[in-house]
Amino acid sequence: MEPKMSNSYRRSAPSSCAPVACENAPHTNGYVSAFRKRRNIKILAQLIQQNRSSWVKRALSLATVFAALGIAACRSDSSTTWFSGSLEAARAEAGARNTMVMIEFYADWCNWCRRLNADTFSVPEVQHELAELVSMKVNGEKGGAELAASFGIDTYPTLIFLDPNGNEMDRILGYLPPDKFLQRVRRIRTGDSFLACLNNLKEDPGNVEAIRHSVEGLLERSDPEGAINRIEAFHRATDGHQTEICRGLMFTARVELHERVYQRAAKLYRRGWDRGFEVPDTQGTAALYALVAEGLPALPPDDQAALLREARYEDAAGLLEIPDLESAYSDNFIDVAGFAFRNGHFDLAADLYIRWYESEGGAASPDNLNDVAWRLYLAGTELETAIGIAQKAYAAKPDPETADTLARLLYVTGSVEEAVSLEQRAAEDADGPRGETYLGVVGRMEAGEVLDDKPTFASYPGKRRRAL
């Protein structure tokens, strides 16, 4: 079963010259907009009752009603000026205005694209900021696929910032709420960009801030090998005097490479190895490299799956030796624990999660606490501690998700009646499919069945889709 994950494990925005990781912000409050729609309906109804002359009826047309209700096309934001010409024309316009081009790459199916459009681009202050740029929208799958491919777009939404000559200055991956979006765009416009970081690093190879933010930017651009090369060059330039920084950055970059390569291996396994596969012979993927070189695709599928899990576990073990966990800060525990958990090192993950809880538990958000308790439950370890963490999460945020986590932990540790009662509450309070899922868990608990929830690592690399 997929671990419960929130958008809670975030890095704070850097102070200078850096893109930051995509932050999927908490859901915005829909009650305000719903209240405004109800108020507008009432106002319209009153006007219609009070004014029955023909000109009022024409004024209160269907289009007007739709506008008052906020019903519009999912990408409608007419109050913002969006450039409708070609990229070449946009660059020319940016040159004439001494500004940048911003391209938003989106896809029709992308919910976060719709959120960005509805929550962020609709804010007047954001619209004003966009008007200072030459802002374009490009569907990365319909009509703009070639342009999206030229920028290596594999995540939606992605916003690209170009100078008038077409040089990429920076990019934003994913959804940002209005305040964070404005902060990022204003930094980029004032020259605090990814390109500036690369230039700073070129002029000063030992610049600590520049290497940190350059690595973040390269990872955003799906280039972990480029990030690794930069870190190695920085290590040489500083004569080994910035070992702690290098270890942290190298762990982050090699984890990204490891996860990308093993995701690709799983996809090819499921498809029957229908195309070639190049694996870097480097730390974090060396075991997989040897496996492929020895003829992995020719083996029986069940053997392939077992060997892929073993290689993934082994390669992850090598990477887990990089961070200095004895002197690590508590926020590093979460990052390393998450990687250990995803790759089957459950005892190490549990140890790090508990160390994090002992250090930060008093100030941790309910979502973070719930995530940690859920992962300990899936790993089947430190369950009594997990119950304490889950109880704290539920007390702070008594919603269906925290109730479900606590109920399952109580059930597997023998508190069946309390677990059933709590799971029933989760089922009653949850909406749609989630409520049905929780109701199914209630039935299994009442029947005394074993809950077979497992970490996703146990099912890696997934089910074969077609035979060789």
The pTM assigned to this predicted structure is 0.73
Q: Return the closest-CA partner of residue 197 out of 218, 212, 214, 185.
A: 214
pLDDT of residue 229 exceeding 80: yes
Using alpha carbons, select from 340, 206, 225 the residue that is nearest to residue 215. Answer: 225
Write down the pLDDT at residue 109. 95
- Distance, CA of 37 to CA of 43 (rounded, Å): 10
Q: Average pLDDT of 161-189?
A: 93
288: which residues sit within 8 A by CB, 6+ positions away? 261, 262, 265, 279, 308, 311, 312, 315
Residue with tokens 């053997």: 303
Higher-scoring residue by pLDDT: 123, 17? 123
Higher pLDDT, 330 or 425: 425
Please write the tens of the pLDDT for every residue from 374-386. 999 999 999 999 9
Query: Of 71 and 114, which is predicted with more confidence?
Result: 114
pLDDT value for 20: 33
Return the pLDDT at 460.
Answer: 97
Stretch 89-118: mean pLDDT: 96
Q: How confident is the model at residue 55 (pLDDT cuts 50, 70, 90)?
A: very low
pLDDT at residue 54 is higher than 70:
no
Token pair for 231: 């870190």
Which H or E element spans position 136?
strand 134-139
Question: What digits encode the pLDDT tens for the residues 195-205?
Answer: 888 888 989 99
Q: Average pLDDT of 80-102?
A: 92
Please report, to the nearest 10 degrees, the dihedral formed by the alpha carbons of residues 8, 341, 463, 296 taken in order. 130
Q: 172 in helix, strand or coil?
A: strand
- The answer for residues whose C-beta is within 8 angstroms of residue 439's C-beta and 6 or more apart is 427
**Cα angle vertex 220, ends 219, 226, to 5°?**
35
Q: Evaluate whether 443 touches 329 at the Cβ level (below 8 Å).
A: no
Place of tokens 């392939």: 304
- pLDDT of 238 reads 95
**pLDDT band at residue 4 under the 50/70/90 scheme:** low
pLDDT value, residue 72: 37
Q: Yes or no: say if 251 and 224 are a contact pair by the CB < 8 Å rule.
A: no
pLDDT for 61: 42
Inter-residue contact 409 to 390 (CB < 8 Å): yes
- Burial (0-12, 13-18, 19+ Cβ within 10 Å), 212: buried
Mean pLDDT on 396-410: 98
**Could you please report the per-residue DSSP string of 34-72?**
HHHHHHHHHHHHHHHHH--SHHHHHHT-HHHHHHHHT--
% of the chain at pLDDT higher than 70: 81
pLDDT at residue 35 in the model: 35
Residue 33 has pLDDT above 90, yes or no: no
Average pLDDT of span 80-85: 82
CA 24 – CA 6 distance, rounded (Å): 9
CA 21/CA 10 separation, integer angstroms: 8
pLDDT digits (tens, 9 = 90+) for 110-169: 999 999 999 999 999 999 999 999 999 999 999 999 999 999 898 899 999 999 999 999
| List of residues 6+ apart from 176 with CB closer than 8 A | 22, 23, 25, 116, 120, 184
pLDDT at residue 284 tops 80: yes
Kindly state the helix (H) or strand (E) to which residue 103 belongs, with its residue range: strand 101-106
Does the pLDDT at position 461 exceed 90?
yes
Whether the link from the prior residue into 455 is cis, omega within 30° of 0, is: no
Taking alpha carbons only, the member of 200, 212, 199, 273 closest to residue 245 is: 212
| pLDDT for residue 1 | 52
Query: Which of 15-24, 319-328, 411-420 has maximum average pLDDT?
Result: 411-420
Q: What rounded mean pLDDT belongs to the chain?
A: 84
Q: State the CB neighbour count (10 A cutoff) for residue 416.
A: 14
User: What is the spatial distance between Cα 48 and Cα 44, in angstroms, rounded to a whole number?
Assistant: 6
> Distance between CA 145 and CA 140 in Å, rounded?
5
Which is nearest to 322 in space by CA: 312, 332, 310, 331? 332
Mean pLDDT of 434-451: 97
Question: How does residue 330 score in pLDDT terms, banded at 50, 70 and 90?
Answer: low
Residue 38 CB coordination number (10 Å): 11
Amino acid at 48: I
pLDDT digits (tens, 9 = 90+) for 297-323: 999 999 999 999 999 999 999 999 999
